[in-house]
A and B are shown apart, each in its own frame.
Chain A
Amino acid sequence: GEDVEQSLFLSVREGDSSVINCTYTDSSSTYLYWYKQEPGAGLQLLTYIFSNMDMKQDQRLTVLLNKKDKHLSLRIADTQTGDSAIYFCAESMMWQLTFGSGTQLTVLP
Chain B
Amino acid sequence: NAGVTQTPKFQVLKTGQSMTLQCAQDMNHNSMYWYRQDPGMGLRLIYYSASEGTTDKGEVPNGYNVSRLNKREFSLRLESAAPSQTSVYFCASSDPTGLGQPQHFGDGTRLSIL
- List residues of A whose CB falls within 8 A of some B CB: 4, 8, 31, 33, 40-45, 48, 88, 90, 92, 95-102
Contact = CB atoms under 8 A, between A and B. Distances in A.
Interface in B93-108: 99-108
Interface string B30-58: 01000000001111110010100000101
A43 B90 CA distance: 9
Main secondary structure of the interface of A (DSSP, over half): strand
B43 A44 contact: no
A3 B101 CA distance: 18
A48 to B, nearest CB: 6
B40 A97 contact: no
Interface of B: 4, 31, 40-45, 48, 50, 56, 58-59, 90, 92, 99-108
Contact of A100 (B42, B92, B105, B106): B42
Given A42-B106, A44-B105, A95 B42 contact: no
A95 B105 contact: no
Contacts of A8: 40
A97 B105 contact: no
